[in-house]
Amino acid sequence: MGEILTVKGLKGWYTADKPVLKGLDLDIEENSVIGLIGLNGVGKTTLMNIICGLHDGFECSSVKMHDKAVTFKDKAFMKSRYIVFSEDESFGYFNFDEYLTYVFGCYGKTPDDAYVNELVERFGFGEHRPKLIKDLSLGNRRKAYLITGFALRPDLLLLDEPVNGLDFNSTETLYSLIAGYKEFGTVLFSSHILESVTLTSDKVIVLENGVITKTYTGSDINAESIRASLGTEVSEGDV
């Protein structure tokens, strides 16, 4: 299995004297699910924003997409990924279908209406389709963006704390979709919830104080080991 994205020596900051990320090496494999776990404030969102080209306070030794040198703002890379942010109030005056149409247009794709309808049903979102995004609850806004991302089927789907705001049934739907996404591409998602990564991931990356302290794969992925590596007393559901 090759890598869709390889990043070496990534450092990120908001002020240069206080780095948030302190030299990360990331290997993101094709057709895989990779969970990024850590306590709040360790740099998960900063990492996601850098990958999406939305945070300029960074430097790195190299970035490669399918072993070809790129930048995070190259058009080819940007069209290969889609992100669901942990906090997002953009496109508030669009309803869901207007937003979906806009996003697919940006990526030069046409929605599979049957699959969109299936996702809407699975997330229990049907009655909210006509509403403006700004008028939706946090959970239903999250559903709108998640449905769009899974329907788009990018090579790299980035999800930043995707469980936040979701009800139990929608969380179970999300876990199922994440685990099954390998058919279409790769999911890189961040979480502070152990269950999220142990139930879905092929690889789990532990991020602490801006550095990767541990990586788990295969049968080594379990809540007890990850909890121990974080060096803190946590519950099954929350780091």
Q: What is the pLDDT along the chain (239 residues), one digit of tens a residue?
A: 689 999 999 999 998 888 999 999 999 999 999 999 988 888 999 999 999 999 999 999 999 999 999 999 999 999 999 999 988 888 999 999 999 999 999 999 999 999 999 999 999 999 999 999 999 999 999 999 999 999 999 999 999 999 999 999 999 999 999 999 999 999 999 998 899 999 999 999 999 989 999 999 988 998 888 888 876 544 455 55
Q: Are residues 42 and 72 in the same domain?
A: yes
The domain boundary, picked from 153, 182, 208, lies at: 153
Question: Which of the listed residues 120, 136, 153 is the one where a domain comes to its end?
Answer: 153
What is the domain range of residue 12? Answer: 1-80+157-239
Distance CA 161, CA 138 (A): 13
Residue after which a domain boundary falls, among 153, 182, 205: 153
d(Cα 191, Cα 158) in Å, to the nearest integer? 12
- Looking at the structure, do residues 163 and 219 belong to the same domain, yes or no? yes
pTM of the model: 0.93
Q: How many domains does the structure of the chain reveal?
A: 2
- Do 64 and 182 fall into the same domain? yes
Co-location of 142 and 161 in the same domain: no
CATH number at residue 31: 3.40.50.300
169 and 68 assigned to the same domain = yes
Are 146 and 161 part of one and the same domain? Answer: no
Instruction: Tell me, yes or no, whether 96 and 63 share the same domain.
Output: no
